[in-house]
A = this chain, B = another copy of it.
Amino acid sequence: MTDLKQIYRDYIDCLNGQAWSNLGTFVADDVIHNSNPLGLAGYRKMLEQDCAAIPDLRFNVEMMISEHPYLGSRLRFDCSPKGIFLGLPVNGRCVSFHENVFYQFDNNKIVRVRSIIDKAALEAQL
């Protein structure tokens, strides 16, 4: 069985390298993010916007567990979002927060993402 963890590590490297033209290697054309049918183009746009809003954005995998065809990950961010982020006036301050996220794979590509960002933790730092 395919090693989803290795695919996921490569996916995270793709994000951290902002290698957007490779994104389709890891993400399916019809990917759904939470309940939004973003598709690959919409998913790429979301990530590009995140990187524009957070110049020092870096995805750090704090833990991951895998049970085919799913992978769960806890990501940690230490970064300085510009202006308003998640509706909060971060304005370039350094903040730390987590994202708990479940990915569903099909044919070794991410088809569904169920993500929650810890907005309450972020808020507590402002």
* A100 interface neighbour in B65, B71, B101, Cβ under 8 Å: B101
Nearest B residue to A114 by beta-carbon distance? B74
- Which residues of the partner chain B approach A123 to less than 8 Å between Cβ atoms? 87
Number of chain copies forming the complex: 2
Tell me if A13 is interfacial: C-beta within 8 Å of chain B: no
- Which residues of the partner chain B approach A102 to less than 8 Å between Cβ atoms? 63, 65, 72, 74, 100
- Which residues of the partner chain B approach A116 to less than 8 Å between Cβ atoms? 98-100, 116-118
- Residues of chain A in range 107-125 having any CB-CB distance to chain B below 8 Å: 114-120, 123
What is the CA–CA distance of A114 and B120 in the complex, to the nearest angstrom? 14
Nearest B residue to A66 by beta-carbon distance? B67
A120, B87: Cβ atoms closer than 8 Å? yes
- Residues of chain A in range 50-101 having any CB-CB distance to chain B below 8 Å: 63, 65-67, 70-72, 74, 86-87, 98-101
- Which A residues are closer than 8 A to B by beta carbons? 63, 65-67, 70-72, 74, 86-87, 98-102, 114-120, 123
Ranked 8 nearest A-B pairs via Cβ:
A72-B72, A100-B100, A65-B67, A100-B116, A65-B70, A116-B116, A116-B118, A119-B119
